[in-house]
Amino acid sequence: MIRLCRLENETLSSVATKDINISEVSEHTVEIITNSGEGAQKCAQIFGQTCAKMGNGVWTVEIIPAEIEPPHHTVTSTSGNIIRFGTDKVTNWGDQSKLAVAFNDQVLLSRHRLDSLHDNCIILQESLWENHEDEDIRRMYREAMEEMSSKNYRFVNVPIEEEALKIVSNPSHGKNMFALGLLAEIYQRDVSIIERQIAHIFRLKSQKVIDSNIELVKAGAAWARENLDFQFHIPSVPAEEERIVMNGNQACGLGSIAAGMELCSMYPITPATSVSHELAEVIENYGGIVHQAEDEIAAAGVAIGASYAGKVALTVTSGPGMALKTEFIALAIMVEVPLVVLDVQRGGPSTGLPTKVEQSDLLSSIYGQPGDAPRVVIAPRSIEECFHSMVTARRIAETFRTVVIVLTDANLATGVQQFTRPELDVRWQQGPIDQSPVPEGLRPYEWDPKTGMSRRIIPGMPGGAHTVTGLAHDELSLVSYHPSGNELGMRMRSRKLAVFQSTLMPPEVHGDEEGDLLVVGWGSTHGAIEEAVDRARAEGRKVSSCQLTFLSPLEPGIKDIFSKFDKVMTVEINYSDTVGDPYITEETRRYGQLAWLLRAHTLIDIDCWTSCPGQPLRPKDIYQNIIAKLEPSQDIEIGEAS
Amino acid sequence: MPSEERKGIALDAIRPGIERFQAAVAKTAEEVRGLLAGTSDSEDDQTAALGFFARGKVDMDRFSAFMPESGHIDEAAEAPTRAAQEVMDSLLARGDELFVLTVQQGEELASAVADRLAEIGRAFAAAHVVELAQRHEYSEEKHAGLLSCYPFAQWSRSERSLAPGLVIELPGEVLTPASIVPFLDRATKIVFVVEGDAPAAALSRVVSPGVFVQQETGEAALEAFTAFDGTAVAALMPDKAVSFVHDPAAGETTYERFVSLNFPKEVRKRAIGGISAAQQAEDYALLETLSVVPSPTGEAASDPAGKLSAWLLSQADLASGG
């Protein structure tokens, strides 16, 4: 029997065999949602890796509860992963999931409440709860189903736990692999790749564990084969070049090794810690070390000390850690010691949302110092750029004897994407310093009056012994309170940034170079913004976008670019006031952080749409706000991300 | 156990040290390669050094005008730097073989070990030569010899911490461990793979408070040796040898550090190599003396039960009275 199946906005091009509808689609978004600790991450990790290895574009987003081990079977216990994969490159997590595997009704309900599921989402739901012996659980199930009845979800009951128990005694250690088997069959994934992934992930466990996990996958696939009447085919285009798959923290870690970093000092902090985990596993093989300091402040101090001694140093942290490192970062700027600081941003302020994404460290990274402390701030836009940004950051830091802050975020840190395998270049590793004897009479701060730059001297170089001080100092590095001396130091430190800015090129514009609206973003929102802009452009709207990567100093030519558009609006994952809210007027309104920066820099009346829901922005929300900006009278819901 | 198998176990036991050493040499060799590649300071080099992230965002020509002459190697320094790089590459190319020393009958153990460590030390010397060349302090006359031989005695404290370890295959007659004591410092780890008759308690003479010493017969388990953070010596001995483990981490007193000690039932009483029967008896006596457990009453116990009861009594502190 042949059945045809057409899904909304998707092209049907193939037919099915037997009773199974096979829909060919260019992309799909799947989520696996479980209680915390039920292995959703492993399941998704293997599924995502398999898709990538089969040549599909992939982007994954972790759903991590804010608390460690929250109570099970509650909406707050939701843990999981969203995998968007398609024929072409995937640059963001998309809009909504079209298929979900849910281990219980409460975690599913939490996703429903966040509007994460597409109206026609297919939901493979654990069948255990509907007729559970506990009346409270049955009641919760009924209430959840009632609440979700407003949507056209298609529910498929699957005896996940019952089937897993046929293979393992503890279903919590097996349901995830059974679910992986379901997905493998539904999306026709190559099981041999899955088996290899399982063997790799469980490489430190016994063969018995590996075998039982593979058996669970096969059982899930068999169940799907026998009981489900649909499949999806997502064509893949094998890449000509070799690709690798990793998340942003892994990319930063490996990128810093490629960049020749010799010391990474850090103190554990979510979501940055895994950078050091990646490094700790391998950096010693490349002659480097990871130093876990006693606190954030010490971590910065160790990195500065290492750099002062001629090593290539990195310190890794997140927002609260940046706050603690503030004084030491100022010291590095004052004594002109090269330093790379990686800030994996999370929700704030204070401890905020440790596991969630936000872009709220921009202004504090640029300006967060007492005194004038100019530094370079860059923001990679993708996981691939996370890798390569470390090489560039090192080189800028050394060339200009300054601090370079690399701003990533939790979205990049935990998201997984594949990219072209970097061809390592030995010149990235080039020794940091000239060790030839210091020329007679050369001073530690032999500032070139035109550029503010001076030759870096390492104390171990012949003739290089000198002290450094955070106090105002002269060219000899001697404490100096002379009024003109202090001003000279400030001018020279600032001049370097102007010189660096003179080497930057204007940012690229995605779309036409003039039009009605320019959307400006920075960092990880790149893919979602461009997708939203492309949607609007496909409707004939004159919208373009521009994703900034150099935030301090700003790329040149921005004002010229902006002036060619009627309106300019930033899109950011941070807070801004909405005019019309109580007490909020055009005069009192606080803008998004990039908007503040650009308004001050260009004196152009730049608007913003920002949101800080603790999750990445969706293209559809950005799209809606683009339309609202273009057609203010249009009656659509704006101002909040779903 | 076949000799090859024992050699494999011995190599595995010093594997972390080998990997640490090789990683450091590889990293240094890469840096030197980068240094040499950057000698021309060409635009291409500068552009490449800035990385892909900068492409399309940074004007490479302008940027390279501001880049320091990183690690500049001038003409005079280039030749010794290249020579140093070749030394590091050649040592890396030798793989495990560099860390396995075979001492033949009639050879002197100490000088064979000294020669091999001096050869390994060429990697450290290469790093010194690069630094000297960069600092314009390199002199062909004074420093060229470093690249062919860099004796252990000249290794710095940090170089000794990076000592990769050695597996020494040798006949029992040549096993005179006391002669290698000058090389036992910091991270040095040596495993003897002994063939044929050997003095039964040969390693007794290297027991000292901070050195891990292990003698094994039959199935050897060297995990503790590998895990020990410091100087360590082990010997995979033929049958009829004493087996013991002296682990400095096991206790403060000498007897506590002997975590195992088993004497063979039968001991040959004849000279082996240059070691007389009397000397071998002295080795035995030394081990017995070191492992004796002092009892609260002043008597000594050397059997396991005696050791245990003495220890229990000492923990109870009965001797001090109420």
DSSP string, B59-80: -HHHHHHHS--TT---HHHHHH
Chain B residue nearest residue A310, CA to CA: B71
Over its C-alpha atoms, chain A yields an Rg (Å, rounded) of 27
pLDDT digits (tens, 9 = 90+) for A201-256: 888 788 899 999 999 999 999 999 999 999 999 998 887 888 899 999 999 999 99
CB atoms within 10 A of CB B102: 12
CB contact under 8 A, A437 and B135: yes
Torsion of CA A410, A412, A415, A421, to 10 degrees: -150
Interface residue of A262, A388, A427, A558 to substitute, partner B, most B CBs within 10 Å: A427
CB contact under 8 A, B134 and A426: no
Contact A436/B at CB under 8 A: yes
Q: Which fold has domain A244-423?
A: Rossmann fold (3.40.50)
pLDDT digits (tens, 9 = 90+) for A10-50: 333 333 445 789 999 999 999 999 998 899 989 998 999 99
Chain A residue nearest residue B22, CA to CA: A285
Banded model confidence at residue A4, pLDDT cuts 50, 70, 90: very low
- For residue A455, the distance in angstroms to the closest alpha carbon of chain B comes to 7
Range scoring the smallest mean pLDDT among A572-576, B27-31, B138-142? B27-31
By Cβ distance, the residue of B56, B70, B131 closest to A430 is B70
pLDDT digits (tens, 9 = 90+) for A241-300: 888 999 999 999 999 999 999 999 999 999 999 999 989 888 887 778 999 999 999 999
By Cβ distance, the residue of B66, B74, B134 closest to A399 is B66
A515-630: CATH number: 3.40.50.920
| Separation of alpha carbons A365 and A629, rounded Å | 29
Both structure tokens of B288: 């017995």
A21-233: CATH number: 3.40.920.10
Contact A412, A387 (CB under 8 A): no
Spatial neighbors of A96 by CB under 8 A, at least 6 apart, are A29, A115, A116, A117, A118, A121, A618, A620
Contact A494/B at CB under 8 A: no
Contact A263/B at CB under 8 A: no
| Separation of alpha carbons B230 and B223, rounded Å | 14
Domains A21-233 and A515-630 share a fold: no
Contacts of A397 in chain B (CB under 8 A): none
- For residue B316, the distance in angstroms to the closest alpha carbon of chain A comes to 39
By Cβ distance, the residue of A388, A391, A503 closest to B62 is A503
By Cβ distance, the residue of B49, B56, B69 closest to A395 is B49
Banded model confidence at residue A638, pLDDT cuts 50, 70, 90: very low
CB contact under 8 A, B49 and A428: yes
Minimal CA–CA distance to A388: which of B160, B246, B57, B293? B57
Contact A420/B at CB under 8 A: no
CB contact under 8 A, B70 and A433: yes
- For residue A350, the distance in angstroms to the closest alpha carbon of chain B comes to 32
CB atoms within 10 A of CB A538: 8
Minimal CA–CA distance to A33: which of A52, A61, A3, A68? A61
| Separation of alpha carbons B216 and B243, rounded Å | 5
Banded model confidence at residue A135, pLDDT cuts 50, 70, 90: very high
Assembly ipTM: 0.89
Q: Which residues pair with A84 in a beta bridge?
A: A29, A59
Contact A505/B at CB under 8 A: yes
Strands (E), B25-145: 100-102
- Domain locations in chain A? 21-233, 244-423, 434-503, 515-630
Task: Tell whether the model's pLDDT for residue A146 goes beyond 90.
Answer: yes
Torsion of CA A165, A169, A170, A175, to 10 degrees: -30
